Amino acid sequence: MKIFTGAQIKELDKFTIENEPVASIDLMERAAKAIVRALQDEWDNRTPFVVFAGPGNNGGDALAVACLMAEAGYEVSVYLFNVNDRLSAECAINKQRVMDCKRIKDFKEVLVDFDPPKLTAETVVIDGLFGSGLTKALTGGFASLVKYINQSPAKVVSIDLPSGMMTEDNTHNVKAHIVRAHLTLTLQQKKLAMLFEDNQQFIGRLRVLDIRLSPAYIAQTVTQFQVLEEADVRSRLLTRGDFVNKGLMGHALIVAGSYGMAGAAVLAGRACMRSGVGKLTVCTPRQNYNVMQISLPEAILSIGKEEYFFTEPIDTEHYDAVGLGPGMGQHEDTAIALISQIRRTQCPMVIDADALNILASHKAWMQQLPEQLILTPHVGEFDRLGNGGSEGDYDRLAKAIDLAQHLQAYVLLKGHYSALCLPDGRVYFNPTGNAGMATAGSGDVLTGIITGLLARGYNRENACIVGMYLHGLAGDLAAKQLGKESLMAGDIIAYLPKAFEFLG
């Protein structure tokens, strides 16, 4: 699913109107009918509705919804805010329709003074003040209205976007001036702002309503952002021939673990093997020998000279992919060995966990990294990699995009919608996964999966895309059976075969 900017959304509407063809007011009616169906799924006609409509097309949508809801037997009161005495053409048409609708309980056009209605816990507010065209924070009377809505006990449904929210960047927005919706009914496609954790407090539950905007425009328009769909991932899967042998399925190297952190090496190694790789070597300190032999007998062990941590880079000539970092620790000798390992390795590399933290504490090394690395930081690791924290999720994503382009690397920023930032500036968001995966070792599993796919023969982009989707899908399948509260990282590995089967 492509994610369009606010400007592209406007062009999509325009293209649909001109090429379907369909009149703008009829397209608005189409959207209103989809919204009404969604509202009727949630509430019966004993529920009173209060509609707050703005002067633009979002307000026009809200007015159209008000008419349809009233005709369906709902008690509907309407407030149209026209403080500048200037309505969009479609909003003006729907204003007249509201005025002509005998079933509307009450209609008030607010030109100067506003006497707010009483909003009870039984009331549902339809927020149709501002949609995806907003470019600055709300002020004055509209800001006061938003605060009034937010302080009320009423349920709030926002059309397209909660009023006050910008479509993409809300870094410097005034949070108190954004409607806090319980349900957001967005039209056709998700907006970028909806993918960020720090905006969820405003969006509430999200439903995407198909209003049949032009598929031709959607298909031909290039976007920077895209949410992965099952078909996108399935088309990238490699098949396994009947006559292959382990030598043809790739040889991966995982450099992981330190004393007390053998589990990270076990999890990454198991995930790597479950990802279809032919052979796996795990390089880990001597103290982890017994644990690894018992926990992962399928792996070859490369035991370092140091008892407790990684101190010597190893020759990677015979490996097809390398994963570095899980449980490695941050001893200074380990840091020196790590940068040496990165510099001398020619095959694809995944850099994670302590390897990222080492780079964060040796900033000068960041300028010496080879191109085409795969970095898989969570939020904390990414902020440490930079020169300070981020001002929110949008700012962090922007920095991740910049880092991917600057290093010509693949930066996989982990989170609810993990974001894969490609060297060319494009971003893929991953829709799979759940809160149960917020548990120790989950990231180590992802490192193992991607490393295994790389060794198996996937290119870097596809290894990351397939890897993060499978990782989340396995977590979803595990959570369905075990529950989110009880999920452990090992469960993700256990359900990887089912995730492959689901996609295959």
The answer to whether the annotation marks 258 as part of a ligand binding site is no
The answer to whether the annotation marks 354 as part of a ligand binding site is no
The answer to whether the annotation marks 59 as part of a ligand binding site is yes
Give, as one character, the DSSP assignment of residue 107.
Answer: E
Distance, first Cα to last Cα, the chain: 21
Measured distance CA(307)–CA(287) in Å, rounded: 5
The answer to whether the annotation marks 288 as part of a ligand binding site is no
The answer to whether the annotation marks 414 as part of a ligand binding site is yes
Measured distance CA(196)–CA(39) in Å, rounded: 25
- What element of type H or E holds 216? helix 215-220
Question: What distance separates the 2 farthest-apart alpha carbons in the chain?
Answer: 86
Tokens standing for residue 414? 């982990």
What residues contact residue 449 under an 8 Å CB cut-off, 6+ apart? 271, 272, 274, 275, 467, 470, 471, 496
Residues in the chain: 504
Measured distance CA(89)–CA(110) in Å, rounded: 18
The answer to whether the annotation marks 163 as part of a ligand binding site is yes
The answer to whether the annotation marks 444 as part of a ligand binding site is yes
The answer to whether the annotation marks 141 as part of a ligand binding site is no
The answer to whether the annotation marks 160 as part of a ligand binding site is yes
Measured on CA atoms in the order 495, 500, 503, 504, is the torsion positive or negative? negative
The answer to whether the annotation marks 150 as part of a ligand binding site is no
- What element of type H or E holds 410? strand 410-413
Amino acid identity at 111: L
The answer to whether the annotation marks 264 as part of a ligand binding site is yes
Amino acid identity at 431: P
Q: Which long-range contacts (CB under 8 A, 24 or more apart) does 15-19 make?
A: 15/214, 15/216, 15/217, 16/213, 16/214, 16/217, 19/214, 19/216, 19/217
The answer to whether the annotation marks 415 as part of a ligand binding site is yes
The answer to whether the annotation marks 388 as part of a ligand binding site is no
The answer to whether the annotation marks 399 as part of a ligand binding site is no
What residues contact residue 466 under an 8 Å CB cut-off, 6+ apart? 233, 236, 237, 453, 458
For residue 106, give the 3-state DSSP assignment: strand
Chain-centre distance of CA 133, in angstroms?
22
The answer to whether the annotation marks 410 as part of a ligand binding site is no
The answer to whether the annotation marks 327 as part of a ligand binding site is yes
The answer to whether the annotation marks 295 as part of a ligand binding site is no
The answer to whether the annotation marks 106 as part of a ligand binding site is no
The answer to whether the annotation marks 133 as part of a ligand binding site is yes
Measured distance CA(324)–CA(373) in Å, rounded: 11
The answer to whether the annotation marks 323 as part of a ligand binding site is no
What residues contact residue 491 under an 8 Å CB cut-off, 6+ apart? 475, 478, 482
The answer to whether the annotation marks 378 as part of a ligand binding site is yes
CB 295 within 8 A of CB 356: no
Where is the binding site for AMP, in residues? Answer: 414-418, 443
Where is the binding site for K(+), in residues? Answer: 58, 127, 163
Where is the binding site, in residues? Answer: 57-61, 127, 131-137, 160, 163, 264, 327, 378, 414-418, 443-444
Where is the binding site for (6S)-NADPHX, in residues? Answer: 57-61, 131-137, 160, 264, 327, 378, 444
